Amino acid sequence: MRMAGQLPSPAEEPASAASNASSSKGCCDPCRDSPPAPEIQEATPMGSEQMEMRKRQTSVSQETPSSIQAQPGVGNRGSNACCFCWCCCCSCSCLTVRNQEERARAASHELRSETIANCEESSTPTLEEVNTWSQSFDKLMRTPAGRNAFREFLRTEFSEENMLFWMACEDLKRESNKSVIEEKARLIYEDYISILSPKEVSLDSRVREVINRNMLEPSQHTFDDAQLQIYTLMHRDSYPRFMNSAIYKDLIESLSQKSAEA
């Protein structure tokens, strides 16, 4: 036991430290493990901010319909627009281009119809005329009735494009207007020369090179070499079979019966 005012002896210091440690251990674990309480910051009033936000949302919701109505045509863009362009003149310009394309297609269709008729106008051939077709291919091709009969035969052999190409070339030779010549030459190339056409005629590479050069400045004689090659092909390949075909024999027989009845 020590008197008041005396310092603790070195032996008593560990005992006091132990007693302090035991008193700290007596505190519960949750209190000891919990993090220190954060410093209380000065809170800002939130009522005025919430009121301001609500006012802004209300004003935006009221302005949105009026702004859409103020801009005519905005709400109907999806239904009235004819392309991906949103300019105000889009529909007008696109309609103009579309009308021009339709007129060009109609003109090309009319030109094709005028160039190649479905069937040439011809009178009924006589028996003597039909008999001359067997003498030479030239006599067959000189008459409209002979070309029609031969074309009907070519249709059964799926080679009618040869006759159509030859007839188109003949029609081109009779044309004198430069602009019409260029347009008809383009149509003939697209229909019978282009490899993408289902009616492409069979031509060798030399003739195709000549045509490609001639198409730089089309004229009535742009397809002369090709026309001669197709004419020779029909003469050597199709004409002999036509002479032995049922189409030709039936025509001879019907005309013979008519002449006998007369």
CATH of the domain at 132: 1.10.167.10
Q: Which one, of 169, 260, 258, lies nearest residue 207 by Cα? A: 169
Residue 44 resides in a domain: no
In sequence order, the 6+-apart residues with CB closer than 8 A to the CB of 132 are: 139
- The answer to whether 226 and 200 are in contact (CB under 8 A) is no
**For residue 213, what pLDDT is reported?**
97
Distance CA 115, CA 180 (A): 11
Contact 226, 251 (CB under 8 A): no
Phi-psi region of 73 (alpha: psi -120 to 50; beta: other; left: phi over 0): left
Is residue 229 in some structural domain? Answer: yes
Q: Which phi and psi (to 5°) does residue 227 adopt? A: -65, -40
Does the residue 162 lie in any domain?
Answer: yes
Task: Name the CA radius of gyration of the chain, rounded.
Answer: 50
How many domains is the chain built from?
Answer: 1
Per-residue pLDDT of the chain (262 residues; tens, 9 = 90+): 444 545 555 444 444 444 444 444 444 454 455 555 544 444 444 555 566 666 666 655 555 444 444 444 444 444 444 444 444 454 455 555 555 555 555 555 455 544 455 567 767 899 999 999 999 999 999 999 999 999 999 999 999 999 999 999 999 999 999 999 999 999 999 999 999 999 999 999 999 999 999 999 999 999 999 999 999 999 999 999 999 999 999 999 999 998 888 7
- By residue range, what is the domain housing residue 157? 125-261
Give domain status of residue 84, yes or no: no
Taking a C-beta distance cutoff of 8 angstroms, is the pair 139, 133 a contact?
A: yes
Question: 């091709």: which residue's tokens?
Answer: 141
Q: Are 181 and 218 in contact, with CB atoms under 8 Å apart?
A: yes
Residue 51 falls inside a structural domain: no
Q: Which of 121, 129, 116 is nearest to 171 (CA)?
A: 116
Is residue 183, in this structure, part of any structural domain at all?
yes
Q: What angle do CA 110, 214, 191 make, to 5 degrees?
A: 35
Contact 195, 175 (CB under 8 A): no
Sign of CA dihedral 49, 50, 54, 60: positive
Q: Quick check: is 93 in a domain?
A: no
Question: Please, are residues 214 and 222 in contact by the beta-carbon 8 Å criterion?
Answer: yes
User: Does a structural domain hold residue 206?
Assistant: yes
What six digits make up the tokens of 127? 């028996």
pLDDT value, residue 31 = 47
pTM: 0.57
199 vs 74: CA distance, rounded Å: 49
Q: What are phi and psi of 176, to 5 degrees?
A: -120, -20
Q: Which residues, including other chains, have CB under 8 Å from residue 154's CB and lie 6 or more apart?
A: 160, 162, 163, 234, 238
